[in-house]
Structure 1
């Protein structure tokens, strides 16, 4: 075997080895991305106006699937009343009494009025009066554009009485990443801080 033949074989082996490594890294990368998507972080788009102006149609958000139990004020993605992925704001958690409305047309939680600056401009806490106590292990969810949101209020006559199980919450929306011009990190609105 000549030196030229040996060199050619060596180059061919390196090409095959490099190709295999590239394929292996690509498969590994896709596998890691799928695991992250399934168990850690999800991306969801907004299909309706029910969360305006906080979230507009076609906005995209990252959802932390490991955020733990939902808390008042969180924006969460959950398996909705119709079985589809849905996004709303947590208003009440297990044990909370949520009432609409006080003399100033505000929601109250456990007897304290809730300041809601995130509501759609010109909108109101609710056109429907209600008085509910959230069972343990459940949440009471409402959209920020209340007059355009089919939320817990719309499902009060159904078997679950409008409540969603904490187990059906997929995760907490943490970042709006699209469109880039409206990118933001979500925080708990101040109005929930005084609720006990």
Structure 2
């Protein structure tokens, strides 16, 4: 029998109690419903696994391994950065001779910018480092041998040790197309007919050790040491054409910007613009 009172179905066995009573669903039981005790057990097992991993990671062997990996990464990154800087930005050199005194003295460490020549043009008066253009170094410095020599060579290649054993450093006096001559009646070098007042020349050294008159070829520069009496520079390697004594721009490593060592000589290097500002273009 079906009782349709109050819209509640009474098919079959009708529940006892008031007809309008609402029965709440029973909570599921059995294996399909997680119990509080099982959830607690799972949390304890997870915490135990985390603690075990932390104990393994904190063992001396694992700590040492992690430290070695991190150190290796730092060293590799530092070496790569040093190589990139040395190749494209700047490089350190040491001064082996007296040819640039008193501007530079033996043992000075200098920083050379790779941006000149390049993004920045060479100027008269710039101090440049360049590869030996044509056996200017009659007696190249002896190569370092043995383990220490190999280590030094690698460090120089990377840029962590100053180069300079068999490179040269001089001051640019003439640019391509300039007519450079020694000397006028005052004993001065002239560039395009203008006598140069050169305050950087070694005191008492003069500049008239050798007479010459050349026009600097295209793509080359005329260089001289500040210690004119002790500098085997463009003057002593030229055959009168300006070609054998000048330095190809392709051999220029860069412009010397500053002394970085020793500390008491640290400072920027000038190209003395006032010495060359009255020189006309060729």
What TM-score do the two structures reach when normalised by structure 1? 0.92
Q: Is 2:128 aligned against 1:76?
A: yes
Give the superposition deviation at 1:22: 2.6
Partner Cα separation in structure 1 for residue 208 and residue 227 of structure 2 = 10
| CA deviations over 1:20-46 (Å, ceiling 9, x no partner) | 223112211111112211222111111
**Greater mean alpha carbon deviation, residues 55-64 or residues 184-193:** 184-193
Q: Is 2:154 aligned against 1:105?
A: no
| CA deviations over 1:55-111 (Å, ceiling 9, x no partner) | 011111000011224220000000123273100000000010001100000011001
Give the alignment of 1:25-174 within 5 angstroms.
25-68=74-117, 69-80=121-132, 81-82=134-135, 84-157=166-239, 160-174=243-257
Partner Cα separation in structure 1 for residue 95 and residue 53 of structure 2 = 60
Contact 1:70 1:166 in 2 (8 A): no
Structure 1: state its 5+ residue gaps. none
The number of aligned residues is 196
RMSD of Structure 2 on Structure 1 (CA): 2.1
Give the superposition deviation at 1:5: 3.9
Structure 2: state its 5+ residue gaps. 1-44, 137-165
2:16 maps to: none
Partner Cα separation in structure 2 for residue 115 and residue 154 of structure 1 = 22
Contact 2:174 2:222 in 1 (8 A): yes
Gap change, CA 1:6 and 1:79, over 3 Å in 2 = closer
Contact 1:76 1:172 in 2 (8 A): yes
Partner Cα separation in structure 1 for residue 93 and residue 190 of structure 2 = 30
Partner Cα separation in structure 2 for residue 195 and residue 30 of structure 1 = 44
Partner Cα separation in structure 1 for residue 256 and residue 98 of structure 2 = 16
Partner Cα separation in structure 1 for residue 240 and residue 277 of structure 2 = 31
Contact 1:42 1:62 in 2 (8 A): yes
Partner Cα separation in structure 2 for residue 27 and residue 70 of structure 1 = 34
Tell me which of the two structures has the higher relative contact order, counting C-alpha pairs closer than 8 angstroms and 6 or more residues apart.
Answer: 1
Judging by fraction of residues, say which structure has more strand.
Answer: 1
What TM-score do the two structures reach when normalised by structure 2? 0.65
